[in-house]
Structure 1
Amino acid sequence: METRQQGLLDPEPVTEVDEEMVSDVDLNNTMTDEEREEILSELTKLEEEISTLRQVLASKEKHHSELKAKLGITPLSEFKQNFNKSWYDMQTSTAYKKTSETLSTAGQKTSAAFTTLGTAISRKFGDMRNSPSFKSFEEKVECTVSNIKQTKVGSQGGGGSFEEVLSSAAHASAQETPSNNMPESSDHERTC
């Protein structure tokens, strides 16, 4: 027999058991031959019953599918029906109702917050548009656009490229000076 090294928690050394001693032990010595035959007989009967039940079940399943086919019930229609029932059951559950109410309340609050934000932004844009600096900027843009239009109308070719429009706008802006060297042709040009 071999012994292994003793560990810290092992109170005694562990020894290997002889295999011959283990094979000599008969585990069935508690049962008589009659009891054994009775159990084997019962086991055989159970296996036969299980086999019969499987055959009956297979026959019933076949009949079941034939009846469904006659009624026009397909696996897809069954799936839809099961899904609809599950969906209905979920919607009527307490958890779903509470969650739905919570989300509805959150949606209403979010909608109100966006409405308030939109009103505030609109008011700020209105205030900004009425400010003197914005009005001055707006007038300058209007004058520049008006000058570009007049320059384009006065040109021979009509349309022109984007570069030509930009250069004419730069030319018109260069002509804007405090001495107002531009010829007066309309009331709008006088204010530019």
Structure 2
Amino acid sequence: METRQQGFNDSEPLREADENMTSDVNLSNSIMTEEEREEIQLELAKLEDEISTLRQVLASKEKQHTDLKHKLGITPLSELRNNLSRGWLDMQSSTAYKRTSETLTSAGQKTTAAFSTLGSAINRKFGDMRNSPSFRTFEEKVENTVTSIKTKVGTPGAGGSFEDVLSSTAKASSQDTPTNNSTDTPERP
């Protein structure tokens, strides 16, 4: 007999000798008598009958189960609600949930304390800034400018139009600004 290797891409068809060898291999793996074959087929038929019977019994029990629930007033929605409630309670009692809850509570408290400290620091800085000489000087200039505008606009015939009042106030403001960079506050008029 000729030795050759066959692969998936071989284009030669199987010869009769190859087919006989293949069928011999299949039969040698599972040699059984006709009697054993009939026994197995009978057992298979019994199992199929039992499975069919069990399916019928299960369907009957499921119907009975549904009827009893209906009589008790248990609806699918109420079952879902109960399952969710039970699941939520189970989750809350888990150690992972408790640890996470404790961690988040602690983080919330620390964050609150940090924001409180930050708020106090900002308030203190604004207070310091408001009491600083440069802020007081700026505040006085704004007050003087507002007062000057009020007196010029409020007095009939004193200053002309609103634009004239603004330009004269701006000129007066620029003349009041000290040109040297000393830390002394300018004298109040």
Q: What TM-score range do you get, normalising by the shorter chain?
A: 0.7 to 0.9
Counterpart residue number, 1:43: 44
Which residue identity is paired with 1:18?
D
Counterpart residue number, 2:86: 85
Distance in 1 of aligned mates of 2:106 and 2:90: 23
Distance in 1 of aligned mates of 2:35 and 2:145: 118
Counterpart residue number, 1:31: 32
Relative distance call for 1:96 and 1:139 in structure 2 (3 A) is: same
Retained in 2: the 8 A contact 1:148–1:169? yes
Distance in 1 of aligned mates of 2:79 and 2:109: 38
Shift of 1:96: 0.9
Retained in 2: the 8 A contact 1:148–1:168? yes
Distance in 2 of aligned mates of 1:84 and 1:169: 71
Retained in 2: the 8 A contact 1:147–1:169? no
**What does residue range 99-178 of structure 1 map to in structure 2 within 5 Å?**
99-154=100-155, 168-175=165-172
Shift of 1:174: 2.9
Distance in 2 of aligned mates of 1:166 and 1:24: 115
Counterpart residue number, 1:70: 71
Which residue identity is paired with 1:59?
S
Distance in 2 of aligned mates of 1:165 and 1:2: 112
Distance in 2 of aligned mates of 1:155 and 1:65: 94
Name the Cα RMSD after superposition.
2.7
Which residue identity is paired with 2:168?
H
Please list the CA deviations of residues 1-54 of structure 1 after superposition, one character each: whole Å capped at 9, or x if unmatched. Answer: 5448xxxxxxxxxxxx93431123314653222222222111111111111111
Please list the CA deviations of residues 116-135 of structure 1 after superposition, one character each: whole Å capped at 9, or x if unmatched. Answer: 11111111111111000001
TM value normalised by structure 2: 0.72
Counterpart residue number, 1:21: 21
Relative distance call for 1:29 and 1:120 in structure 2 (3 A) is: closer
Distance in 2 of aligned mates of 1:77 and 1:166: 76
SS at match of 2:79: helix
Distance in 1 of aligned mates of 2:164 and 2:106: 58
Distance in 2 of aligned mates of 1:69 and 1:44: 38
Which residue identity is paired with 1:112?
A
Shift of 1:143: 2.0
Counting matched residue pairs gives 161
Distance in 2 of aligned mates of 1:166 and 1:18: 113
Relative distance call for 1:43 and 1:143 in structure 2 (3 A) is: same
Please list the CA deviations of residues 132-152 of structure 1 after superposition, one character each: whole Å capped at 9, or x if unmatched. Answer: 000111111122223333344
Distance in 1 of aligned mates of 2:164 and 2:62: 88
- Where structure 1 has 5 or more consecutive residues not aligned to the other structure, the ranges are 5-16, 157-163, 179-190
